[in-house]
Amino acid sequence: MAKELLKGNVAIAEAAVRYGLEAYFGYPITPQTEMLEYLSKRMPELGRVFVQAESELGAVNMVYGAACTGARVMTSSSSPGISLMMEGLSYIAGTELPAVLVDVMRGGPGLGNIAPSQQDYNQITHGGGHGDYYPIVLAPASIQEAIDYIGLAFDLSEKYRSLAVLLIDGSLGQMMEPAELPEMQPVRAAYPHWAARGATGRGRIVHTSIYLNPIEQEKTNFRILSRWREVQANEVRFKEYYLDDAEYAIIAFGTAGRVALSAVRAARAAGIKVGLLRPITLAPFPGNAVRELAKRVQSLLVVEMNNGQMVDDVLANIHDQTPVEFYGRPGGNVPLADEILAEIERIVKGKLTLNGHPRDRWLDRMLTKS
Amino acid sequence: MQVDIIIAGFGGQGVLFAGQLLAYAAMDNGYHVTWYPSYGPEMRGGTANCTVIIADEEIGAPVVGSPQVLLAMNRPSLDKYESSVKPDGFLIINSSIIDRPVVRKDVHVINVPANEIAEKIGDKRMTNMVMLGALLANLPLLSIETIVSELRAHLPERHQKLIPANIRALTEGARFQLEPV
C-alpha cells in the first residue's frame, strides 16, 4: 500500500481495525481522544463493537468481559485515565486473558497537563495494578512503528495470554508522518479453546481472577511467570544506531529516542563516536543488549521524558561496570537535540563516577541551572 | 538535508492546514517529513503553530529549538519565535497585521502584506496561501504546482471551487522573493 500522511492516534486506530480489532471500549482524554473519536465512526461502519463507556473503569471492565470471549479487544487512554484502569488491568492479567491497551502519555503526576511525557514507564512496565503480572510493553518512535507494533501487540498478547501495551507519548499521538497501513485483514474465524462464546455442546468455561485457595493462586502465579520467561527469551526487540564503533552510547525510547538520534548525528558530525540503543520492548527489557553495550563503551547516557525511570532498569543490568549518566525532562517537556548534545559533550569530557545515583547528579545539575 | 519550518499564527488563520499541505507535498516528492501541531488548550481562539520538518533521511527530533524558517502570521508569533530562528534563516512576516519591524539583523526578512493581498483576491481565508507562496518562492524545495495538486487532493469537496483563488494567492505570495545574495 502507498504511504499516507497519518496522525498517530488515527493511524493506530485504523491499523488496529485492519489487524482485526473486534471490540473497542474507551473514554475520551487528551492527547488520545482522536483514537476513540475515529473508532466511534469506523467500528460501527464495519459492524464491530464500539462503546464509549461512562468512565475508564467502565471501559476497562468491558474490555475484561469482551476478552473472555476471545475477541481482539482494545482500549486506549492517557496517563490519569490509565491510572483509573489499573484495577481492571490486574484482573485481566490475573485471569490470563489477552487484551491490548494504548497509553498516550501526558505530563504529570496528578491531572498534570496534556503535553508529551514518558511518565508512565514504571507504572506500565513494573505493574501499576496489584500483584505479580507482566504486561508486554512496546514503545514505537514513529507513526510507522506505531502501526506495526499495534499489530504485534495483538499477536503477542494472544500468543502469551497476556496484556500488551503500546506506550507512546502525546507527540506521537498528535504528529503526522508518512506511513503505510497494512492491508485489511479478516476478523479471525476461529477462537481459542478457552473462549466463552455460548455453552451449547460443551462444558463450563470459567474465567476468574479469584483463587480463594492460596495454593491454587500460587500455581496461577507460577504459570503467569513461566509464560513471562518465554516472553523474555523470545520477544526482546530494540534498534541500534551508530553503535559499531561507538565509544559512548545513549539509551532512550520512543520520542526521547528519536530526539537522541538527532543529537547523535550532530555529535558524529563533530567527530564524537557516539551511538544509540533504542529499546522497542520496554518489557521484556533488552537487558542483555544493554549489558553487552556497557562492556564496549566508556560511558552510557540514559535520556527520558521523566525523572529517570528506565535508568533504574539500565543500572540493574550493568552492575556498576560502566558510568551511567541521566538526562531527563519531566512534566510534559520534550528535550531538544541541543540539550542532549550538550550532555554528550559533557560525558565525553570524562571525570564520571560510579558512585551515587545518576538521577541525583542530574537533579543537582538541573537545580543549579534554573 | 533537513529543513525545519515553524508556521505560527492565530487559530483560524489556516496555520495547521498550510503545514499539512507542505507535509503532503514533501511526502509525495519522496522526502521524509513530520508535521507536529501545538495541541494545547491555547488552540481555542488563541495561537496555533506547527512544526514541519522536511529531510532526505529518517527524521530524529520532531520538535526543534531553532528553525531555519519562521512563517509569522501574527505579532505574538514573531514575538515568541524571532530570537529562535537560525542565523541566515528566513523570517516570513505577515506585515498586514505585524506592527513592528524585525529586530534580528542576521536573518532574511520577507515582508508580505498577506491580509491585503488575500482581500484583493476576494477571500480573507487565502492569507495562509499567500504566506505559503512566499515560503515556496524562497525555499526551492517544493513547487507551487505540487502544492496545488495537494490542494486538489486534500481540500474538502465543498471547498474545491476555491482552488483558483488559492492558486492566485500562492502566485501572488511567490512574488516576494529575495534577490539572490
Q: What is the pLDDT of residues A285-319, one digit of tens each?
A: 999 999 999 999 999 999 999 999 999 999 999 98
* Helix, strand, coil shares, percent, chain A, to 5: 45, 20, 40
Q: Cβ contact (<8 Å) for B39 and A176? A: no
Q: Cβ contact (<8 Å) for A176 and B23? A: yes
Give the ipTM of the model, two decimals please. Answer: 0.93
Residue A127 pLDDT > 90, yes or no? no
pLDDT at B43: 54
Q: How many residues does chain A have?
A: 370
pLDDT at A321: 81
The three cell numbers locating residue A175: 504528529
Please report, rounded to a whole number, the percentage of residues in chain B having pLDDT higher than 70. 95
Q: Which residue of B has its CA nearest to A333?
A: B63
Q: Which 3 state secondary structure label does DSSP give A244? A: coil
Q: How many CB pairs under 8 A join A and B?
A: 67
For residue A5, give the nearest of B23, B36, B41 by CB distance: B23
pLDDT at B42: 58
With CA atoms as reference, report the closest residue to A291 among A311, A321, A257, A327.
A321
Asked whether this chain's domains A4-234 and A239-369 adopt the same fold, the reply is yes
Omega prior to A330 cis, within 30 of 0: no
Mutation target to probe the A interface, by most A beta carbons within 10 A, among B5, B36, B44 is B36
Q: How many residues does chain B have?
A: 181
With CA atoms as reference, report the closest residue to A51 among A16, A72, A26, A81.
A26
Q: How many other C-beta atoms are found inside a 10 Å radius of the C-beta of residue A210?
A: 10
Q: Cβ contact (<8 Å) for A170 and B24? A: no
Residue A265 pLDDT > 70, yes or no? yes
CATH topology of domain A239-369: Rossmann fold (3.40.50)
Q: Which 3 state secondary structure label does DSSP give A180? A: coil
pLDDT at A254: 98
pLDDT at A300: 98
CATH of A4-234, one of 3.20.20.140, 3.40.50.970, 3.90.1330.10, 3.40.50.720: 3.40.50.970
Residues in chain B within 8 Å Cβ distance of A239: none
Residues in chain A within 8 Å Cβ distance of B59: 177, 258
How do residues A100-126 score in pLDDT, each as one tens digit? 999 999 999 999 999 999 999 999 999
CA distance B8 to chain A (A): 16
Q: Is A341 on the interface with B (CB under 8 A)?
A: no
- Specify the DSSP class assigned to residue B47: E
pLDDT at A202: 86
- Mean pLDDT, rounded, of chain A: 97
Query: Going by C-beta distance under 8 Å and a sequence separation of 6 or more, which residues neighbour residue B64?
Result: A336, A337, B4, B6, B51, B53
How do residues A60-103 score in pLDDT, each as one tens digit? 999 999 999 999 999 999 999 999 999 999 999 999 999 999 99
CA distance B59 to chain A (A): 8
How do residues A353-369 score in pLDDT, each as one tens digit? 899 999 999 999 999 98
For residue B60, give the nearest of A30, A113, A265 by CB distance: A265
Please name each of the domains of chain B with its CATH number.
2-174 (3.40.920.10)
- How many whole angstroms separate alpha carbon A8 and alpha carbon A179? 10
CA distance A122 to chain B (A): 24
CA distance B41 to chain A (A): 9
Query: A350 — phi, psi (to 5°)?
Result: 85, -150
Q: Cβ contact (<8 Å) for A5 and B33? A: yes
Residues in chain B within 8 Å Cβ distance of A337: 60-61, 64-65
Tell me which residues of chain B have a C-beta less than 8 Å from any C-beta of chain A: 20, 23-24, 27, 32-37, 39-41, 58-65
Instruction: Decide the pairing of beta strands A299-304 and A248-251.
Output: parallel
Domain edges within chain A: 4-234, 239-369
Query: Going by C-beta distance under 8 Å and a sequence separation of 6 or more, which residues neighbour residue A350?
Result: A298
pLDDT at A42: 98
Q: Is A259 on the interface with B (CB under 8 A)?
A: yes
Q: Is A44 on the interface with B (CB under 8 A)?
A: no
Q: Is A308 on the interface with B (CB under 8 A)?
A: no
Q: Is A230 on the interface with B (CB under 8 A)?
A: no
Residue A342 pLDDT > 80, yes or no? yes
Angle at A20 between CA A281 and CA A199, to 5 degrees: 110
Query: Going by C-beta distance under 8 Å and a sequence separation of 6 or more, which residues neighbour residue B86?
Result: B66, B67, B68, B107
- Specify the DSSP class assigned to residue A103: E
Residues in chain B within 8 Å Cβ distance of A104: none
Q: Cβ contact (<8 Å) for B23 and A175? A: no
Residue type, B56: D
Residues in chain A within 8 Å Cβ distance of B35: 5, 175-177
Q: Which residue of B has its CA nearest to A259?
A: B61
Mutation target to probe the B interface, by most B beta carbons within 10 A, among A1, A117, A144, A177 is A177
CA distance B62 to chain A (A): 7
* Per-residue pLDDT tens digits of chain B, which is 181 residues long: 999 999 999 988 999 999 999 999 999 999 999 999 987 765 556 789 999 999 999 999 999 999 999 999 999 999 999 999 999 999 999 999 999 999 999 999 999 999 999 999 999 999 999 999 999 999 889 999 999 999 999 999 999 999 999 999 999 999 998 866 5
CA distance A358 to chain B (A): 24
Instruction: Confirm if A7 and B50 have CB atoms less than 8 A apart.
Output: no
E strand map for chain B = 2-10, 32-37, 47-55, 69-72, 90-94, 108-112
Q: Cβ contact (<8 Å) for A336 and B65? A: yes
Q: How many other C-beta atoms are found inside a 10 Å radius of the C-beta of residue A341?
A: 20
For residue A1, what pLDDT band results from cuts at 50, 70 and 90?
A: low
H helices then E strands: how many in chain B?
6, 6
